[in-house]
Amino acid sequence: GNSVTQMEGPVTLSEEAFLTINCTYTATGYPSLFWYVQYPGEGLQLLLKATKADDKGSNKGFEATYRKETTSFHLEKGSVQVSDSAVYFCALRGYSTLTFGKGTMLLVSP
Amino acid sequence: DTEVTQTPKHLVMGMTNKKSLKCEQHMGHRAMYWYKQKAKKPPELMFVYSYEKLSINESVPSRFSPECPNSSLLNLHLHALQPEDSALYLCASSPFSGYEQYFGPGTRLTVT
């Protein structure tokens, strides 16, 4: 079956530091891949997506590239802000449902 | 507009109460979803509606009863819940089943 593995958190960074959150997946075929972000007390927001190999999704300074050869979709940001503190979920699209990773909490301090 | 709305924002109910959660979207999406999320966990899929018909029920107890009155509305009827049902209940929609999903802000449910 489909599965998503994310790095354990929390990830603690200072403002303006570089961010990487690792995500690898197991799936049949070439699923669409997503990053969702959940701020405290809120629902999930779609952050970015990629639908085929070598696609790069980007939004709000965040980027992730769909790497078929390593089955990965790592999230990166060049300079994080305190407002980026949230839980980040990597997900893949199965036939009609999403499979989520366990989530990675990011804490950014001033 | 990629907004999914949910009401109420918070709900406290006793184990003998009957209550309903409401979800609405006006993006013309034809698939809608209910999820349950416990603290520090990813969302767990409960139900999927596609073209207003229930297409997936993830073995959810019968004390949760979904309803899709029209293509914009999704309800979750609650009856005789248990304290372990306390969680954040999230609604989502997508253009069609299997496409990227857009989530609402959730209803924080506490069962006493």
**Is the CB of B103 less than 8 angstroms away from the CB of A89?**
no
**Structure-block tokens of residue B62:** 């019968």
CB A36 within 8 A of CB A93: no
Distance CA A62, CA A79 (A): 9
Residues in B closer than 8 angstroms to A32, CB to CB, are 100
DSSP letter, residue A71: T
Residue B2: per-residue pLDDT: 63
**Structure-block tokens of residue B38:** 């416990």
Q: Which of A32, A95, A100 sits opposite B42 (nearest CB)?
A: A100
Residue A97: per-residue pLDDT: 87
**Which residue carries 């999406």 as its tokens?**
B29
- Chain mean position to CA B82: 17
Distance CA A11, CA A3 (A): 22
Q: pLDDT by residue (tens digit) across B59-107?
A: 999 999 999 999 999 999 999 999 999 999 999 999 988 888 999 999 9
Alpha carbon of A13: minimum distance to chain B alpha carbons (Å):
20
Residue A94: per-residue pLDDT: 83
Residue B98: per-residue pLDDT: 80
Q: Which of A43, A96, A97 sits opposite B103 (nearest CB)?
A: A43
